[in-house]
Structure 1
Amino acid sequence: MDGISTLEMRILDKNAEYLGISDRILMENAGKAVADATLSRYPTANNITVVAGLGNNGGDGIVAARYLLNSGRNVIIILLGRVSDVSEEPAATNVRLCNNLLRCKIVEARDEYSLLMNQDLILRWPHVIIDAVLGIGVKGRLRQPHATAIDLMNMSPAPKIAVDVPSGLDSDSGKVWDKAVKAAVTVTMHKAKRGLLLDDAKSFVGELIVADIGIPKDAELLVGAGDMLVLNYGRDANSKKGDNGKIMVIGGSKYYTGAVMFTALSALTMGADLVNVYTPRDVAHDIRSNNPSIIAIPMEGDSLDNSHVESLTNEMEKFHVIAIGPGLGLSAETQTAVLRLLENAMRLGKKVVIDADAIKAVGNAGRLDLLKGAVVTPHAGEFKSLFGIEVPTDPLERGEVAKRIVAEKAPGTIVLLKGNTDIITDGSRLRLNKTGNPGMSIGGTGDVLTGVTAYLAFKVGDLMEAASLAAFITGLAGDLAVIDKGFHITPLDVVERLPKVLSMFYDIRRIAVNSLHPQVHGFLDAAGSL
Structure 2
Amino acid sequence: MSSLGRVIVAEQTLYTAAQVREFDRLAIASGIAGFELMRRAGQAAFNCVQECWPDRSPIEVFCGGGNNGGDGYVLAALAAEAGLAVRVWALAAPESLNGDAALAWQWARRTGVVVSLWRGESPQDNSVVVDAMLGIGLRGDVREHYRAAIQAINCAGVPVLAIDIPSGLCSDSGRILGVAIKAAQTLSFIGLKRGLFTLDALDCVGALHFADLAVPRNVYKQLSSGQLTGAVRQLNLAQMLAEWGPRARNAHKGAAGHVLVVGGDYGMAGAALLAASAAARSGAGLVSCATRPEHIGLFVAARPELMVHGVSGAQELQWLLAKATVVVIGPGLGQQSWGRELLAAVLAANKPLVVDADALNIIASEPQLLLSHCGPRILTPHPGEAARLMACSTLDVQADRFTAAQTMAERFAASVLLKGGGTVIATSDGLYLCNRGNPGMASGGMGDVLSGVIGAFVAQGLSPPRATCLGVVVHAAAADVAAVEGERGLIASDVIDHLRGVINGYAALS
> Given the two structures, how large is their TM-score scaled by the length of structure 2?
0.52
Partner residue in 1 for 2:218: 211
1:393-452 Cα offsets, whole Å, 9 max, x none, are: 897931123213432x22x21111111121111366111112112211111111000110
Partner residue in 2 for 1:502: 503
Q: 2:493 corresponds to which letter in structure 1?
A: L
Task: Check the 8 A contact 1:227/1:469 in 2, yes or no.
Answer: no
CA RMSD of aligned residues (A): 3.5
How far the C-alpha of 1:213 sits from its partner, in A, is 7.5
Q: Aligned in 2, Cα 1:387/1:396: closer, same or farther, shift over 3 Å?
A: closer
Partner residue in 1 for 2:401: 398
* Structure 2 unaligned residues grouped into runs of 5+: 1-6, 14-215
Matches of residues 56-455 of structure 1 in structure 2 within 5 Å? 211=218, 221-225=233-237, 227-229=239-241, 232-300=244-312, 308-344=313-349, 346=350, 350-367=351-368, 368-369=370-371, 373-390=376-393, 397-407=400-410, 409-410=411-412, 412-426=413-427, 429-455=430-456
Q: Aligned in 2, Cα 1:320/1:507: closer, same or farther, shift over 3 Å?
A: farther
Q: Aligned in 2, Cα 1:385/1:395: closer, same or farther, shift over 3 Å?
A: closer
Q: 1:379 corresponds to which letter in structure 2?
A: H
1:235-288 Cα offsets, whole Å, 9 max, x none, are: 223333321121111111121111111111111111112101111122121011
Partner residue in 1 for 2:106: none
Task: Check the 8 A contact 1:355/1:378 in 2, yes or no.
Answer: yes
Secondary structure at the counterpart of residue 284 of structure 2: coil
Q: 1:369 corresponds to which letter in structure 2?
A: L
How far the C-alpha of 1:466 sits from its partner, in A, is 1.2
Q: 1:403 corresponds to which letter in structure 2?
A: Q
How far the C-alpha of 1:329 sits from its partner, in A, is 1.4
Task: Check the 8 A contact 2:383/2:419 in 1, yes or no.
Answer: yes
C-alpha distance in 2 between matches for 1:20 and 1:339: 40
Partner residue in 2 for 1:145: none
- Greater relative CO (CA pairs within 8 A, separation 6+): 2
Matches of residues 50-61 of structure 1 in structure 2 within 5 Å? none
How far the C-alpha of 1:17 sits from its partner, in A, is 4.1
Partner residue in 1 for 2:38: none
C-alpha distance in 2 between matches for 1:281 and 1:215: 60
Secondary structure at the counterpart of residue 259 of structure 2: strand
C-alpha distance in 2 between matches for 1:424 and 1:443: 21
> Given the two structures, how large is their TM-score scaled by the length of structure 1?
0.50
How far the C-alpha of 1:337 sits from its partner, in A, is 3.1
C-alpha distance in 1 between matches for 2:12 and 2:427: 28
Q: 2:333 corresponds to which letter in structure 1?
A: L
Q: Aligned in 2, Cα 1:257/1:438: closer, same or farther, shift over 3 Å?
A: same
How far the C-alpha of 1:310 sits from its partner, in A, is 2.7
1:135-157 Cα offsets, whole Å, 9 max, x none, are: xxxxxxxxxxxxxxxxxxxxxxx
C-alpha distance in 1 between matches for 2:437 and 2:239: 16
Task: Check the 8 A contact 1:222/1:433 in 2, yes or no.
Answer: yes
C-alpha distance in 1 between matches for 2:418 and 2:468: 10
C-alpha distance in 2 between matches for 1:215 and 1:316: 49
Q: 1:211 corresponds to which letter in structure 2?
A: N
Secondary structure at the counterpart of residue 400 of structure 2: helix
Task: Check the 8 A contact 1:263/1:451 in 2, yes or no.
Answer: yes
Partner residue in 2 for 1:41: none
Task: Check the 8 A contact 2:232/2:433 in 1, yes or no.
Answer: no
Secondary structure at the counterpart of residue 312 of structure 1: helix
Q: Aligned in 2, Cα 1:418/1:371: closer, same or farther, shift over 3 Å?
A: farther
* Structure 1 unaligned residues grouped into runs of 5+: 1-14, 22-208, 301-307, 509-530
Task: Check the 8 A contact 1:482/1:488 in 2, yes or no.
Answer: no
Q: Aligned in 2, Cα 1:234/1:382: closer, same or farther, shift over 3 Å?
A: same
**Seq. identity, %:** 26
Secondary structure at the counterpart of residue 290 of structure 2: strand
Q: 1:426 corresponds to which letter in structure 2?
A: T
Q: 1:296 corresponds to which letter in structure 2?
A: V
How far the C-alpha of 1:354 sits from its partner, in A, is 0.7
If you compute each CA radius of gyration, which structure gives the higher value, 1 or 2? 1
